[in-house]
Amino acid sequence: MALETWLAFLLACWIISLSPGAGAIASMSAGLQYGFLRGYWNALGLQLGLALQIIIVAAGVGAILATSELAFSLIKWFGVVYLMYLGYRQWQALPGEMAAQTERPIGRPLSLVLRGFLVNFSNPKAIVFMLAVLPQFLNPQASLLTQYVVMGVTMICVDLIVMAGYTGLAARVLGALRSHRQQRLMNRTFGALFIGAAALLASVRRAAV
């Protein structure tokens, strides 16, 4: 991949990662609830989902998902239900849960990794988007595998940095929330954002992406 092509792709990655979406909401929610160090496990899960999406596109399976109404709908509605579940859990979270930072429950990091993975992987629009964007930066005369690896590593590194920013920003907000009323309001705000993301995903149609 030529340097100028990679720089253009790098810029596109920053724009895509900085655009608010379900991943950003999940990162801020995790930072708000658990602080930066614990909440950042969610970002690692997001990258596992992103990596699997890139592998699917590189393997050509993404084209099948993009053209199959059934496959697209199954993944989409799983994502809708899961985001609504996260929204419900966030809305119902007790204010005191946000302040309990002294002990990390066994298995919590793995739960956050799985949560991030499912948030990213259950978005079929991302697969279709990558099918439309990634080939624009490919040189058909060079090794496709090498180029996909370079693009995948670039996307993941950029997204890790951006999600660290979202998680850290929310973790700083956590320290400023002193009253139960403030914590409850923040929980319900993020709960509403998750449900809003679910509604947006539900409105996505395969023919429109």
Series of mean pLDDT values for 10-residue runs along the chain (209 residues) = 84 82 86 86 93 86 67 73 76 58 55 90 76 77 86 93 91 68 72 77 59
pLDDT single digits (tens) 9-43 = 888 888 878 877 888 888 988 888 888 888 899 99
Contact at 8 Å (CB) between 116 and 43? Answer: yes
Q: The pTM is what?
A: 0.72
Q: Would you state the pLDDT for residue 66? A: 61
Tell me the three-class secondary structure of 100-130, residue by residue: CCCCCCCCHHHHHHHHHHHHHHCCHHHHHHH
Contact at 8 Å (CB) between 202 and 80? Answer: yes
Question: By CB neighbour count within 10 A (0-12 exposed, 13-18 middle, 19+ buried), where does 118 fall?
Answer: buried
